[in-house]
Every structure is written in C-alpha cells, then in structure tokens.
Amino acid sequence: MTESQAPAGELRSIPALLARNVARFGHRPAYREKEYGIWQSWTWSEAADEIRALALGLLGLGLRPGDHVAIIGRNRPAHYWGMVAAQMCGAVPVPLYQDAVAEEMAYVLGHCRARFVICGDQEQVDKVLEVARTVEGIEQILYTDKRGMRKYDHSRMNALADVQAEGRAAKQRLQGELDARIAALDYDATCVMLYTSGTTGKPKGVVLSNRNIIETAKNSADFDRLDRREEIVAYLPMAWVGDFIFSMGQAMWCGFTVNCPEGAHTMMTDLREIGPTYFFAPPRVFEGQLTSVMIRMEDAGRLKRAMFERFMKVARRVGPQLLDGQRVGIGDRIAYGLGNLLVFGPLKNTLGYSRIRVGYTAGEAIGPEIFDFYRSLGINLKQLYGQTEASVFITQQPDGQVRSDTVGVPSPGVEVRIADSGEVFYRSPGTFVEYFDNPDSTASTKDAQGWVATGDAGFFEEGSGHLRIIDRAKDVGKMADGSMFAPKYVENKLKFYPAILEAVVIGNGRDFCTAMLNIDLTAVGNWAERNNIAYASYQELAGHPQVYATLREHVEAVNRSVADDPMLSGCQIHRFLILHKELDPDDGEMTRTRKVRRAVINEKFHDLVDALYDGSTEVRTETEVTYEDGRKGSIKAVLRIEDVPVFGQASARKVAAE
C-alpha cells in the first residue's frame, strides 16, 4: 500500500496518476470488460496507450482546452478512457445519464455547450442528432459501437477506434502539444463536471477540481485501506458522482481493477464471475437480491429450506457480532462455521459476494432487516452519506461501528456541523468549486467559508457520535394541527416491505396523511403466481383486491410503529391508493437516481391527491407516459382508495373529529 502514502507531489491530475500507475505496476490489470463471452483485459500500460492514442486523436479533431466533452453510454473502458483523454487535452469530461430522453439531454448539452460528444452506440447518437437540431455548438460526435452506423453522414462523426488510429498516426506531429497540455493540468483545474439530477428544478452542473477528486479518493481509500488488489464492478450510471469516485478517482489513486459488465441484463452473472472485493450498490439492488433469494428459497426443496431457516437464525443472532469482532460463545461459533460451509458460503458465492471486504450502500435508507441479512452472512456492508457537491463522502461508517439507522462519522478531512434549523452543513477538501454558469445557486449553497448546505435535516447521536438523517429539510413540514410531517420516515418504513417498491406520503399542511404506493412487480408477481391469481398487466395486478388487502395490512403495521414515535405519530396514513403505473424517471416522476420528485407527483396526480382527501372511494384517472424512445402515450385507470386504521393519539383525534 505504499502508493497511498506517496507524497502527492506531482500527482495533481488523473493523467498524472495514470502515468504513475504505468510506471509502478504497468503490467497489472487496470480494466476488464466482458465482451464476446469472455473477460477482455487491459493492463495499466495498455490502457495508457489506448488513452493516449485517443487524446492525440481528439487533439487532431481540434479539441481545445476548456471545452466540454459529453460522454453518454454504459460503463465501458472506452468511455472511462474518453474521460481521461479529454482531461489530457485540457478539456472537461461531462458524463450524462444514458437513459435520459432527448429533451433532458438537450438542456444539459446546451447548458455546458459541449463541442464534442462521445456516444456509446447508435441509440445515443440518434438522440444527440435530434438534440443537435435545436442546440447549437455540437461539432463532433464520436461513437464506440459501430453497429448500424454505416449509413450516417460522417462529415462530423467518427468511430472512437478510428479517432485512436488517427491519433496514433499523428503521434509525431501532436505529442509535443499533448504533453504540454498534460503538464499544464494543476490541482485546481477542473477534473469533471457532473450534473445533479435534482429533485426540483433544472439540473445543475457541479464542477469538481482535481483537488476535490484526488483528495477525496486518497482520504476514502485510506479510511477503508483500499489497495491495488481491489476488484470493483462498474455498473452504476457514469453520470453519477459515486461511479466517478469509485471507478475513476479511487481506481486511479489505488491502482485497482475496474470491471465492466457485458450489459445491464448480464450484470448479476458478471458480478458473480468477478467477485468484487469492494462494492457499492444502492439499497434497491440489495433489496432486489434479497427478494430473489427469498423467492428461490420458497421454491426450494424441504431439506434446503429447513437448512436455510435453521442457519439463518444462527446468522441473525451472531453474524453481525462476529463481523464486528465481538465475543461470541464457542457453540455459536461452531454453528456459524457450519452454516458458513453449508449455507452462507454457497449463498454468498451465488450472489457474487464471496470476496467482499468493503461494501457500501447509500442514497436511500436501507431496511434494517435487509441490512442485517447481509451483515449476518458476514458481508461487511456499511452505509455512507454523501452528495455530488461533496465528491460523495460526507460521513461513513468505520468497520465495527455499523448500524442500519445511522450514516456514520464524518469522513477523514470532512467537518460537519448541524445548524440551528437542524440542517446538516459540511466543509471538506472534496467540496465542489461551483455550479457551472450559475453563481446564484453557488452562493446560496456554499458560503464564503466553504460550508455547504446539504438540504438534509439530521442530528448527531449522543454517545456514538454518528450522524442520523431525518429527511430532506425542505420536505419536513407541519400538519394542519402543527405536528411534524416527515414523509421520508414513513415512506422508508413502507418500502421495507418487499411488496412495496415506492411510496409517496402526502400530508404537509393537511389534516391527515395519505399515501400513494407502487407495487414491486417481482415480489407481487411471484406471490400472484403462487396463489393462482391471474393478471394481464401491471395495472390489473396493482388493482387486485387481494393485493390491496395485503398492502393495507402493511400500511396498518407501519401506522402502528409510527404511533410509537410521539414526535411523528401524526404521520400515520389514514387513506391510501395503489398507483396504476410505476413511477419512472422518463416521466419526470423520479430523478435518474430514483428519488421521488414530490412537486411533480403532486401536480401530475393532483386528481388522485384530491380524491385521497375528499373521501371518495374510487377515482378515474388518465396519465401520460413516456416510452423509452421518447414517444408519449397515456393510460387510463380507475383506482380504489382504501381507509386504514390509525393508532394512539391520531385515532383519538379522528374519533373526536368525527
């Protein structure tokens, strides 16, 4: 691990780190990608050669320092190389969400005035061409996958491989210029610009400098003792800051291997084949995996099921303690060891988690049962709290101090303070430079001393010193009777049930709370199959009386547990409905990182909201939906609204009101 302690002397940019990695361990694998059924791999030397060829090619095409280079595609080595090549030329890479529809893309491409766009495939090229009809300034389109591209007008379009070939040919002519540009990169030069999805308003371009990325990568790598032997799987959107930190910042700093899956559909198989040692996933991935394990166990034979249940009981009891290095009785140790041999080991192997040393989840609250399930298997799953503006890390959980309800202690180098209003503020070496072309927003988010408002309300727990997040500060409101309204708190409790994929709780300024729910098609579909319930569509299943009955039980159970919290007992759900469609980023109902956009939902489903409060038992609605290719359609439905019992003070009040 000597390289992590190396003085950061000249290591002031990603290209400089790349050069160091080539010099130190050029023969070690840097990138792998599964293609044509096998893992193709590139060593640091080979990767550096590819990147340099690409940079020379971009230079030949006229890329200027300060230009923005948009990158739109799935996680592929070529796209990571495109980002580094752009940096070498003094340009700024701007990765975008590949599943964004053309109009979303138009705003971002127009806002950053990207001259060069690197596209993954024909689908992305088509979107960019559509955007280029209204947005000026896009001069060169490059694409990775040549398929279907032959018939396009290539006057301003090139395959990435061709650009590299031209770069290699122009080496003599351009390498002096390229080296000069690489040498000019300093710690304050922009490393990357990432657009935050933003639950409200237009996306903002977060400018992160080399200092932000490299310091953060260094501190966080030290925190978890990451080294060049780590294996990670790069599968989360490249436009998301986390992927940039893990697959670029930390990978370059530590020199570990970035593995790119064949495609989204093969992700789980590829994960199993790689067996990462360092892994990040949002809670929904862990939830999805747990759901599928449970479904498969239900289908398993009696012996297997009995073994699973028997040993999971042991694991739940002592697994987390063992992981935290606490004392456990010898009998339990033996039972756990046996379980590891027969159940946990094979199960972890199936999930691809056999080698995990450090696993993180963040972005949303994770259900305690889910969190404990993985920890009891011996997987060191931890939580962190962060945001784009902080280059991810604000707080994280140290080994041995892991709990499902906190997000840990401040990361190394990060100062955290709670304002009187309860809002969390931080200041760190990773704190962003500015919002691109948006000084007003920059000023309102970051003060002169460098403190940044997170927009989240939270508090430090007494004793442990761990941070707990309550909710988005602006989402926390008051009910009509003045009691506190914290929708996320209740939504999380609802979402911990496998049958519920999403929940939106409404109630700010109202007399009582209501909820709109999304069913989880995998879990509910499997349940329907098991119980011989026939359904033709998502909509039909969502509206099925038995599904309503199940969800009503869940809501009731949540109400019971919310009633126990004196501060939040007003947030119990009095009425709910099950939505006829899944909330979808394409329809603007969620961000690309799958956070609910409350304002959009309140406006779009205002008829449903009205019905939830006017006492009706049924509501007829029509909703516009956007297909993947950007076309619009609409679905009509009649939704039932059901009442749920409430408990404690809330029920007393209800009776009084009646």
CA dist 231 and 49 (Å) reads 22
b/e string for 292-302 if b means 16 or more Cβ within 10 A?
A: eeebeeeeeee
Q: Among residues 200 and 269, whose Cβ is nearest to other proteins?
A: 269
C-alpha 529/C-alpha 215 separation (Å) is: 51
DSSP 456-484: EEEEEPTTT--EEEEEETTT-EE-TTS-E
> Contact at 8 Å (CB) between 382 and 408?
yes
Number of helices (H), then strands (E), belonging to the chain: the values are: 24, 28
CB of 39 to other proteins, least distance (A): 12
- Output 263 or 345, the one with its CB closest to other proteins: 263
Residue by residue, DSSP assigns 441-452 as HHHHHB-TT--E
CB of 633 to other proteins, least distance (A): 12
> 602 to 641, contacts with other proteins by CB under 8 A?
none
* Residue of 9, 27, 133, 147 interacting with other proteins (CB under 8 A): 147
Phi-psi region of 62 (alpha: psi -120 to 50; beta: other; left: phi over 0): left
Smallest gap from residue 35 Cβ to other proteins (A): 7
What residues pair up with 379 in beta bridges, in sequence order?
A: none
What is the smallest separation between the CB atom of 627 and other proteins, expressed in angstroms?
Answer: 10
Q: Which is nearer to other proteins, 603 or 628 (CB)?
A: 628
DSSP string, 220-249: HHHHTT--TT-EEE--S-TTSHHHHIIIII
Spell out where 266-388 has E strands. Answer: 278-280, 358-361, 381-387
The total number of residues written for the chain in this structure: 658
Q: Which residues contact 396 (CB under 8 A, 6 or more apart)?
A: 220, 223, 360, 382, 383, 384, 385, 386, 407, 408, 409, 411
Provide the minimum distance between the beta carbon of 269 and other proteins in the complex, in angstroms, as a whole number: 7
* Candidate list 27, 151, 631, 632; residue touching other proteins; CB under 8 A: 151
Residue pair 541/637 in contact (Cβ under 8 Å)? The answer is no
**567: which 2 tokens?**
């501060």
CB of 34 to other proteins, least distance (A): 8
**Cβ nearer to other proteins, comparing 67 with 262:** 262
Pick the closer one to other proteins by CB: 273 or 511.
273
Closest CB 586 distance from other proteins, rounded Å: 16
Q: Which is nearer to other proteins, 48 or 78 (CB)?
A: 78
* 121 or 215: CB nearest other proteins: 121
Largest CA distance in the chain: 86
Please give the Cα distance from 336 to 375 (Å, whole number): 13
Beta carbon nearer to other proteins, 350 or 602: 350
**What's the CA gap between 143 and 557, in Å, rounded?**
52
Beta-sheet pairing, 29-35 with 38-43:
antiparallel
Kindly state the tokens that stand for 367.
């259900």
CA distance 24 to 125: 38
Pick 151 or 327: Cβ nearer other proteins = 151
Provide, rounded to whole angstroms, the least separation between the CB of residue 3 and other proteins. Answer: 35
Residue 32 or 68: the one with the smaller Cβ distance to other proteins is 32
Per CB under 8 A, which region of 21-29, 144-152, 401-409, 587-595 contacts other proteins?
Answer: 144-152
Region binding other proteins by CB under 8 A among candidate stretches 146-154, 182-190, 432-440, 558-566: 146-154
Give how far Cα 36 sits from Cα of 47, 68, 94, 263, Å: 19, 32, 29, 11
500: left (phi over 0), alpha (psi -120 to 50) or beta: beta
Q: Are 390 and 416 in contact (CB under 8 A)?
A: no
Q: Which of 369, 362, 350 is nearest to 406 (CA)?
A: 362
Build a one-symbol-per-residue string for 393-432: x at contacts with other proteins by CB under 8 A, - elsewhere.
----------------------------------------
- The correct pick among 5, 9, 133, 150 for binding other proteins (CB under 8 A) is 150
Amino acid, single-letter form, for residue 527? W
- Least distance to other proteins from the beta carbon of 441, Å? 41
Q: Give the shortest CB-159-to-other proteins separation in angstroms.
A: 14
Q: Please state, in angstroms and rounded to a whole number, the distance separating the CA atoms of residues 451 and 404.
A: 27
The helix (run of H) or strand (run of E) holding residue 435 is: strand 434-435
The residue among 479, 510, 503, 478 whose CA lies nearest residue 489 is 503
CB of 151 to other proteins, least distance (A): 6
Q: Which is nearer to other proteins, 99 or 511 (CB)?
A: 99
Task: Choose between 134 and 266: whose C-beta lies nearer to other proteins.
Answer: 266
Nearer to other proteins, 266 or 349 (CB): 266
For other proteins, which is the closer residue by CB, 553 or 628?
Answer: 628
Token pair, residue 370, equals: 């889910």
Point out which span in 148-156, 337-345, 430-438, 496-504 binds other proteins (CB under 8 A). Answer: 148-156
Residues 439-468 that bind other proteins (CB under 8 A): none
Nearest-approach distance from CB 585 to other proteins, in angstroms:
20
State which of positions 26-55 bind other proteins (CB under 8 A).
Answer: 35-38
CA 17/CA 249 separation, integer angstroms: 9
Question: What is the spatial distance between Cα 458 and Cα 469, in angstroms, rounded to a whole number?
Answer: 4
Residue 269 within binding range of other proteins, rule CB under 8 A: yes
Q: Is 133 in the site for other proteins (CB under 8 A)?
A: no
Residue 476 structure tokens? 């926390």
Of 587, 580, 589, 584, nearest in space to 638 by CA: 580
Number of residues that bind other proteins (CB under 8 A): 13
Interaction with other proteins in 238-267: which residues (CB under 8 A)? 262-263, 265-266
Cβ at position 67, least distance to other proteins in Å? 33
CB of 579 to other proteins, least distance (A): 23
Closer residue to other proteins, CB minimum distance, 133 or 151:
151
Task: Give the residue among 73, 412, 69 at the shortest CA–CA distance from 218.
Answer: 412
Q: Residue 517 or residue 528: which is nearer to other proteins going by CB?
A: 528
Shortest gap between Cβ of 442 and other proteins (angstroms)? 43
CB of 363 to other proteins, least distance (A): 25
Using CB under 8 A, list all residues that contact other proteins.
Answer: 35-38, 147-148, 150-151, 262-263, 265-266, 269
